[in-house]
Amino acid sequence: MNLIPVIDVMAGEAVRAVRGNRQAYRPIVSSLCDGSDPVVVARALCGHCNSRRLYVADLDALLGRPAQRALLQALLRALPDVGLWLDAGFADAAAWTTLCASFGADAARVTPVFGSESIASRAALERCFDAGDAASARAVLSLDRRDGQRLDPAGCWDAPGLWPKQLIVMTLERVGADSGPDLETLKDVRRRAPDRYIVGAGGIRDAADLARAADAGAAAWLVASALHDGRLPRADA
């Protein structure tokens, strides 16, 4: 099971995600480092997991405000050997292209995450994963749900023929909730897309949960709270 550490950033700080209630997020308190500076937190997460991939959720952008370009650029400079999976509330491919242009030569290290909660329409969905564009071809689709309801204005969940090679199954009410992973939903997506690289998100508490997730068909899992709380050992331990 591959761990992909997650950092949620809001108003220039790393914050703790709880149940997807973004307005209530507060600066992170972590056993891995002091303070909530995103660069410090990101380095601690990647070091703990021995990971060359970091998932970044730009909460400002997800809440309809401008993306935190300077902060994202700082993360890229501080982590030259790490690729970012970036969710910045992209409504369509053009929104990603516009933000991508600000990363300059580092753009090749950023993979866009298109969330089903954010994609504006079916037409936008059809253009998000253009095999002719290098960044779009490697893009990730996050299938988002909360409290049993799909967050999906574009109908992503019902269009497996449009799904890219990499998928996230995101259960928001389990994020930071210490409630265990939603493995039934992940298994359902695995049945519908057996050839995809499927990443789970939300609910991991400890190594036993990770083992259960692997058995359910997850290739990787997005993790934050269990790392900050010291419930998952260092990758080299």
CATH number at residue 57: 3.20.20.70
Is 237 part of any domain?
no
Residue 87, domain extent: 2-228
Q: Which two tokens stand for residue 170?
A: 């995101």
Alpha helices by DSSP H, listed for 79-181, are 93-100, 122-128, 134-137
Q: Is residue 127 part of a domain?
A: yes
Q: What is the pLDDT of residues 119-146, one digit of tens each?
A: 999 999 999 987 556 666 789 999 999 9
Domains in the chain: how many in total?
1
At residue 131, what is the residue type? A
The pTM score is: 0.95
234 assigned to some structural domain: no
pLDDT digits 0-9 by tens, 174-183: 887 778 999 9
Alpha carbon distance 147, 142 (integer Å): 16
Contact 201, 169 (CB under 8 A): yes
Q: Does residue 212 lie within any of the structural domains?
A: yes
Does a structural domain hold residue 61?
yes
CB-based contacts of 90, cutoff 8 Å, min separation 6: 96, 99, 112, 113, 114, 115, 118, 119, 128
Determine how β-strand 53-58 pairs with β-strand 13-16. unpaired
pLDDT digits (tens, 9 = 90+) for 75-104: 999 999 999 999 999 999 999 999 999 999
